[in-house]
Amino acid sequence: MSLALKNIVKSFGATAVLKGVDLEVGKGELVALLGPSGSGKTTLLKIIAGLEWPDSGMLEVDGENWFDLPARRRQTGFVFQHYALFPHMSVRENIAFGLRVRPRGLRPARAKIQARVGELLKFLQIPHLADRYPGQLSGGQRQRVALGRALAINPKLLLLDEPFGALDAAIRRDLRRWLRQVHEATGSTTVFVTHDQEEAFELADRVVVMSEGRIEQIGPADVIADRPATPFVARFMGATV
Ligand code: ADP
């Protein structure tokens, strides 16, 4: 699905967090929201997810008002940095969860759920972990399972908030490569939040640089690196290269 955010404004009390954000994301595109801590990235992602409400502005999905669409039509998958798996459920049960809790009518039959989970375990390269519990997995394996749970419903829109933030550098690199492959295989429109420039540049089709509730620049990585549009972007690139 394609997204169009128009003049999104959001404050928490006296703090203006988003000061008029305009952003279009094409169908099947992978976009990174990049910026320092506190720039409003997570709030913007939560608004797209329907977990926060903007004070004003529009969000259209395939030309329809997103805020009017019933949840069942949204088909959105989330992966958050600290979005814990259910510790008392096996990997297989965690991945199946998203399908089991679908509204009546959209919930597949038991055998279908099992087949889909089997397919995902293979796709995620973790069939050998199917019967383990989250406490028996490494951080990287847990994030694969979290992504499996998000992908179980075949989301048209996949939202990730610092999905690999808590992991060490080598595992982050592996997961990044793997996320790119997953993206190419599923074709979901994907928006992910990161404060890591390398991660944004390596993964995204386009990078959205944010600062203090505003978008400073949107473009492919090479354009942002070679031709920063504002003094902030130039400083930010220089500071973190
Ligand atoms: P980022 O993801 O770029 O770090 P956030 O969107 O998390 O930025 O936060 C932007 C600003 O909004 C921060 O100053 C943060 O303290 C504030 N903020 C975020 N969520 C809330 C909330 N629920 N209540 C009050 N302030 C919030």
Q: For ligand 1, is residue 51 a contact (CB within 6 Å)?
A: no
pLDDT at 39 over 90: yes
pLDDT band at 240 (very low <50, low <70, confident <90, very high): low
Using the atom order of ligand 1, give the atom closest to the CA of residue 195. Answer: 3
Q: Could you tell which of 10, 17, 80, 162 is best to mutate to test the pocket of ligand 1, judged by most ligand atoms within 8 Å of the CB?
A: 17
Q: Which of 125, 74, 117 is nearest to 98 (CA)?
A: 117
This prediction has a pTM of: 0.90
Q: Could you report the per-residue pLDDT of 52-62, keeping only the tens digit for each?
A: 999 999 999 98
Q: Report the mean per-residue pLDDT for the chain.
A: 90
pLDDT at 72 over 70: no
Q: Could you report the per-residue pLDDT of 25-35, keeping only the tens digit for each?
A: 999 999 999 99
Q: Could you tell which of 9, 11, 12 is best to mutate to test the pocket of ligand 1, judged by most ligand atoms within 8 Å of the CB?
A: 12
Secondary structure class of 142 (helix, strand, coil): helix
Q: Could you report the per-residue pLDDT of 76-134, keeping only the tens digit for each?
A: 888 887 667 899 999 999 999 878 877 777 777 888 889 999 999 998 889 999 999 99
